A = this chain, B = another copy of it.
Amino acid sequence: MRETDDRIFDAALSVFARKGKDGARMQEIADEAGISKALLHYYYRSKDQLYEKVFEHVMSRLERSFGERLMKAGSFEEVLGSFIAGYVDFVRQNLDVMRLMVNEHLTGSPVVAGRLRTIMDSSETMPTVVFVRRLEEAMERGEVRRVDALQMLITVMSSCIFFFIIFPTIRAIHPLAATDSDQFIEARKQHLTDVFRTSLLTSQEQAGEDT
C-alpha cells in the first residue's frame, strides 16, 4: 500500500479537479484517500494549504512533460505529429491536471496567468515553446506557409484538449467514442495531424497565402 501522503495527494487532485476549490469537500477527499478527515488535517493544516500544494505539483508536472521528444524531431512535419500525439497523450494520462487548470481559469483565480507566463518564458523545453520556435523556423525556410505562430499554437492546443472536456457529449454523438474511446483518441490524433499538416505544409503546386 502506498504512502498516505501520496494517496491524499491523488485524492485531492481528483476531487479539486472535479469540484473546484470551493466545491470540494474535505470529507470526500478523506474518503477517496481511505483515511479520516482528522488525518487529512494532520498532514495539511487547512484546505487552502492542501490546494496550494496540489496546484504547485500540477504546474511542475506541466513544465517537464514531453518537451525533449520534440527537440529531437527533424522536419516540422515531425514536430507537428509529435506535438499532437504528445499533447493528447499527456492530457489523457493527466486528466485531473487538465481539469484543475480549466477550473482555475473558470474561477478567475489570478494565480494561473502570472505563473504560466513565467514558465513559458523560462523553460526552453516546454513543448509549447518548442512548437512555436520550430514553427517560426519552418516558416523562415518556406517549409510551411506564413501564419501567426501563436494563433496556430492556440488552435492546435485547443483541438488536443477541449474534446477531453466535453467527452461525455462526444460519446453521445460519435459512435466510435461510445464504443472504444482509446481507438477514438487514436483516430483523433490522426485527424488532427492530417488537418493541420494539410493546412500548413506548402507543396510545390500550392502557393502560400497569408492572413
Chain A interface (Cβ < 8 Å from any Cβ of B): 17-25, 99, 102-103, 105-108, 110, 112-114, 116-117, 120, 145, 147-148, 150-152, 154-155, 157-159, 161-163, 165-174, 187-188, 190-192, 194-196, 198-199, 203, 205-206, 209, 211
Contact = CB atoms under 8 A, between A and B. Distances in A.
Contact of A169 (B25, B106, B116, B188): B116
State the main secondary structure of chain A at its contact with B. helix
B168 A194 contact: no
A115 to B, nearest CB: 9
Given A102-B102, A120-B173, A206-B206, 11 more contacts: A17-B106, A20-B103, A20-B106, A99-B106, A105-B169, A116-B169, A150-B173, A151-B187, A158-B163, A195-B199, A196-B199
A145 B205 CA distance: 17
A24 B107 CA distance: 10
A146 B2 CA distance: 50
